[in-house]
Amino acid sequence: MEKIIDEKKQGESLLLQKKEGNTRKLFIESYGCQMNFSDSEIVASILSKEGFNTTSKLEEADLVLVNTCSIRDKAEQTVRKRLTEYNAVKKINPKMKIGVLGCMAERLKEKFLEEEKIVDMVVGPDAYKDLPNLLTEIDEGRNAVNVVLSKDETYADVSPVRLNSNGVTALVSITRGCDNMCTFCVVPFTRGRERSRDPQSIVEEVNDLWNKGYKEVTLLGQNVDSYLWYGGGLKKDFSKASDIQKATAVNFSQLLDLCAKAQPKMRIRFSTSNPQDLTLDVVEVMAKYSNICNHIHLPVQSGSDRILKLMNRQHTREEYFTLIDNIKALIPECAISQDMIAGFPTETEEDHQDTLSLMEYVKYDFGYMFAYSERPGTMAGRKMDDDIPAEIKQRRLSEIIALQRKHSFYRTQSHLGKIEEVLIEKTSKKSDAHWAGRNSANTMVVFPKKHYKIGDFVNVKINDCTSATLIGEALDYSNNNK
């Protein structure tokens, strides 16, 4: 995976959850997207009722769970390598049980137990409520597998245990699964059909987080803009819904409005938006509330109409430009970020140039860029030859990354001299004397600590920048009591 700018936590163990009376020790770590990190918090909550506290020490764990990612081959290889490391520890502590969660569990199912002999348990993303039963199975010496996908499970009734938390920012999942069937993507197969979570439970979670001192939430879904609640179940059945259900249905812009209104001082972010589903009423709600951050993650994947079509992305390059223009007309300072895939099957040099020229038009604030990785079972995997040689994919990817770096620098420079509100999240990685936090546009800002503390909103004058980070100075009239 190639990425720049964000500080995505990869394979980080989730720490510190202690409940009185719990005696068993759970080591849980997550790979891949934010949704996996959020799911691990649900898993920890379910297991807390089964007598588990989390530990950060692999050697002392009774149960090791790894929440896995299948999005690219490399992500799967990383997990397999990690399993060999668990194996070394299991040799010293043979009672330790090992479970695989998430997308690889769903993709490989029982095969996992054959391929990786050290694994005791395989659990797909919709089966976490079955963990207590599966644990009984493995405690009694049998292997356990549950990879059943659901049409309505949203874990709305599970209150996540916040793990490895800075106490300031939290993830709140609002939809599960994806119905889009982009031809390169394994997610619809590993996470199943798209379903939305009850808005009331979402707002309650946001309120609860605020009451516990959190200052920012990110509403999470593979495709947040297609959020639709009318009483549960699949979105495609909405046409059969009753008149009352239709009249009281809640879409994403309404959900965003509900959350922003419920906690006017809580910062709200959301991810991910698929361009084909992002409607301007969402951008209007963003413009209406100062607590909704001015940033849209709007992956386009390619700038070529021909490739977009082969990817089954339901928009053209021109439609994407119109969407960008409309967003900027409503919120001129709105940051936009991308995901891009280099070397999709049949991609020509001309297609690649289209990607570069699309980037030139948008000048994204930041992005995540990848070489195409064929995924078994997907439409592209089944029907198309992975025909772009690795070195060409890599060269195109490098060109995309270099251009993004240039644009990121162009964007960070545009913040110079401005005063921006930053929410302090942690100590800067590079200096103990500096705080790090993000501005509304989702750019990292570092500045001298002074008397401020984690969780403060601070007005920072931006004096300097790199392509990834803004460097500034807190102004003394900053409002900490938000």
Measured from the CB atom, the residue of 103 and 470 that comes closer to ligand F3S is 103
Q: Do 358 and 317 touch, CB atoms closer than 8 A?
A: yes
Measured from the CB atom, the residue of 99 and 221 that comes closer to ligand SAH is 221
CB 184 to ligand F3S: min, Å: 7
> What's 113's DSSP letter?
H
Measured from the CB atom, the residue of 279 and 427 that comes closer to ligand SAH is 279
Q: What tokens does 452 get?
A: 């401020």
Using rule CB under 6 A, residue 299 touches ligand SAH = yes
String marking each residue 46-75 x if it binds ligand SAH according to CB under 6 A: -------------------------xx---
Residues that bind ligand F3S (CB under 6 A): 178, 180-182, 185, 187-188, 222-223, 274
Using rule CB under 6 A, residue 222 touches ligand SAH = yes
40 sits in which H/E element: helix 34-48
Options 70, 253, 301, 443; binder of ligand SAH; rule CB under 6 A: 301
CB 300 to ligand SAH: min, Å: 9
CB 185 to ligand F3S: min, Å: 3
Measured from the CB atom, the residue of 306 and 461 that comes closer to ligand SAH is 306
Distance CA 203, CA 256 (A): 10
How would you write 352-419 as a 3-class SS string? HHHHHHHHHHHCCCEEEEEECCCCCCCHHHHHCCCCCCHHHHHHHHHHHHHHHHHHHHHHHHCCCCCE
Measured from the CB atom, the residue of 194 and 351 that comes closer to ligand F3S is 194
Amino acid identity, position 246: K
What stretches of 230-329 adopt beta strand conformation (E)? 250-251, 267-271, 295-297
**Which segment (45-53, 106-114, 182-190, 349-357) binds ligand SAH by CB under 6 A?**
182-190
Options 259, 260, 266, 341; binder of ligand SAH; rule CB under 6 A: 341
Distance CA 16, CA 14 (A): 7
Distances (CA, A) of 432 to 444, 449, 480: 16, 9, 21
Residues 351-410 that bind ligand SAH (CB under 6 A): 370, 372-373, 375
Q: What tokens does 47 get?
A: 């297991």
CB 260 to ligand F3S: min, Å: 24
If 0-12 CB within 10 Å is exposed, 13-18 middle and 19+ buried, where does residue 245 land?
middle
Pick what 446 binds: ligand SAH, ligand F3S, none; C-beta below 5 to 8 Å, kind-dependent: none
CB 30 to ligand F3S: min, Å: 17
Pick what 188 binds: ligand F3S, ligand SAH, none; C-beta below 5 to 8 Å, kind-dependent: ligand F3S
Which residues have a Cβ under 8 Å from the Cβ of 109 and sit 6 or more positions away?
A: 122, 124, 145, 147
Measured from the CB atom, the residue of 364 and 370 that comes closer to ligand SAH is 370
Distances (CA, A) of 262 to 203, 258, 259, 291, 347: 7, 6, 5, 11, 47
What is the contact surface with ligand SAH in residues (CB under 6 A)? 71-72, 184-185, 187, 222-223, 272, 274, 299, 301, 339, 341, 370, 372-373, 375
